[in-house]
Amino acid sequence: MIKVGIVGGTGYTGVELLRLLALHPQVELRSITSRADAGEPVSQMFPSLRGHVDLCFVHPDEALLDQCDVVFFATPNGIAMHQARGLLDAGVKVIDLAADFRIQDVAEWEKWYGMSHACPDLVAEAVYGLPEVNREQIRQARLVANPGCYPTAVQLGFIPLLEEGLVDISGLIADAKSGVSGAGRKAEVGILFAESSDNFKAYGVAGHRHLPEIRQGLARVAQHEVGLTFVPHLTPMIRGIHATLYGRLKRDVDLQALFEQRYANEPFVDVMPAGSQPETRSVRGSNRCRIAVYRPQQGDTAVVLSVIDNLVKGAAGQAVQNMNIMFGLPESTALSIVPLLP
């Protein structure tokens, strides 16, 4: 059994991790931390976990995380980087669901996240946890940087085009929409029901923290710096990301065949039949990314539609997928979940 600890188990990502791990046949949940709610039964805060998780939240100082096999950090940015080294030295694998280890350029990370990095040497070691690109590196990793939600949807949509050098990489466009759970489980005016319901708006247009992460990932695939315009939007739904991606084609190609071939052996990427319209509710609660590809009017623009559940493939599900790879388990263990509908 894999002994698992979770740091920061009271947010949406934390409870999603618990939902998935509670049903994992090879996992033993050992410790779930919370400073503010230490001593409270997990199932009291999250009644959905009654009968599945019988632990109480514990203070981080009493969590005995060094006795785990793997620790997930479902914490705000800037937490994992202060604790990762001690856990790694104790032989514990670390999967960080925040952004502490995602961006390899430490100066760039510090600019976007507004703090000094506590362990820049570990950034170089961290493996970016997008299995569809880095599966073999993840298999050998002891520190995995779990991708962000927008970066997952956007990269999976662009990767086949960039791998084959099919689009002009100087003018990529990602127009993306997210449900309010992407903002986290906190009190904030902009995500109050009366503010976000029956409303639709862009945000972070001048620059969003996920932009450098997406550019970094696309540049690795293209083997060249890319020009990307990324505009996120907030939609009045709880879960889901829909990314509409645009790239100017440089030559003629069968886009449907290209995407089907690229993802033929990927358990969590579904390339839909030609003419399909993927919907966020078609992936709700699942670890799947659904993709459709178009070439409107047979012109020179490729349009890719990519949808994920931001809390699953965009966070907790992808983290469990990475854990499965790291421990040599079937990749889909505890993740073969049929999406919820309606």
Question: Known catalytic residues?
Answer: 149
Ordered alpha helix ranges (H), 197-328: 210-222, 255-262, 317-326
Helix orientation angle between 131-140 and 210-222, rounded to the nearest 10 degrees: 90
d(CA 245, CA 257): 18
Token duo for residue 85: 């080294």
Place of tokens 């829909």: 242
Burial class (CB in 10 A: 0-12, 13-18, 19+), 332: middle
Task: Give the total residue count for the chain.
Answer: 342
Residue pointed to by tokens 């945000």: 203
Tally of CA atoms within 13 A in the half-sphere of 86 that contains its CB: 11
List, as one string, the DSSP characters of 25-92.
Answer: TTEEEEEEE-STTTTSBHHHH-GGGTTT---B-B-GGGS-GGGSSEEEE-S-TTSHHHHHHHHHHTT-
Please report, for residues 8, 68, 283, the alpha-carbon distance to residue 88 in angstroms, rounded to integers and kept in the order given: 18, 11, 34
Strand 143-145 to 127-128 pairing: parallel
Beta bridge partners of 94: 71, 143
State the pairing for strand pair 289-294/269-271: parallel
HSE-up of residue 4 (Cα within 13 Å, Cβ side): 29
